[in-house]
Amino acid sequence: MSEPSLQDTIIPKSDQLNADDLITGPITVTVEAVKRSPSPEQPIDIYITGHRPFRPCKSMRRVLISVWGDKGSEWIGKSMTLYRDQTVKYGGVEVGGIRISHVSGIDEEIKLALTTTRAKRSLYKVLPLKTMDYEAHISAFKDAKKMREWLVALAKENNWTKTTPVYVSLRNACAEQAKKIEADNAKTQTADEFDAGLGPVQEVE
């Protein structure tokens, strides 16, 4: 019997993702929803798969807006890799903070000049994150049943519910693809297959 992990004993008590959550290593997550927060210091709540909401600092908000645009709805379904940067300071003391290393939706490395202190700006690099292209994957299906099984398995893997924005978007895309599959099958149906589908037909007098 394998020994159980002790990671659950170091989870910080908080309603958001913290740098200490990433002590054991980076995580790659998918954006499920983006909402405004009443907090002036952390005005954006990014709901992500499998974790508490990520509330990016101003520098990371600048990164996300630079790579994904300024509309939160356009971030849904995109992915990013988050890591703990020990050098982040608060009040002159290194306390660690969450940083973004990779994002989906870009084809090459992006460099941004971000303010690190009041009198200093530093070059920040974001690398492309290779993820599954869901739209291309869905459009490749030729069997509606297999497509549905894939979507159900994906939802279970990511703990999506029927109201999760990412799931809703993929479900709608699958529904459209199912219509195309049905239409394509009708076009390729032979006369004998058509007749078989009619069942018993009375002779016309």
Judge whether 60 and 54 are in contact, CB under 8 Å: no
Query: What angle (nearest 5°) sits at the alpha carbon of residue 24, between those of residues 20 and 29?
Result: 80
Residue 84: beta bridge partners?
A: 98
Q: 171-174: long-range contacts at Cβ-Cβ below 8 A with a sequence spacing of 24 or more?
A: 173/134, 173/135, 173/138, 174/138, 174/141, 174/147, 174/148
Q: What sections of 84-159 are H helices per DSSP?
A: 134-139, 144-158
Query: What pLDDT is attached to residue 108?
Result: 92
Residue 104 CA to its chain's centroid (Å): 9
Neighbours of 121 (CB within 10 A): 11
Q: What are the two backbone dihedrals, phi and then psi, of residue 189, each rounded to the nearest 5 degrees?
A: -70, 130
Is the entire prediction scored with pTM above 0.75?
A: no
Question: Exposed, middle or buried: residue 96 (CB in 10 Å: 0-12, 13-18, 19+)?
Answer: middle
Query: What pLDDT is attached to residue 119?
Result: 67
Query: What pLDDT is attached to residue 80?
Result: 93
Between CA 151 and CA 171 the distance in angstroms is 8
- Tell me how long the chain is: 205
Between CA 139 and CA 181 the distance in angstroms is 10
Between CA 122 and CA 116 the distance in angstroms is 6
pLDDT in tens, the chain (205 residues): 677 777 666 666 578 999 988 888 899 899 999 999 888 888 999 999 889 999 999 999 999 999 999 999 999 989 999 999 988 877 677 778 999 999 998 989 999 998 766 667 889 999 998 777 788 889 999 999 999 999 998 888 777 788 777 788 888 889 999 999 988 887 766 666 655 555 554 444 4
Query: What pLDDT is attached to residue 203?
Result: 47
Judge whether 121 and 115 are in contact, CB under 8 Å: yes
Query: What pLDDT is attached to residue 193?
Result: 62
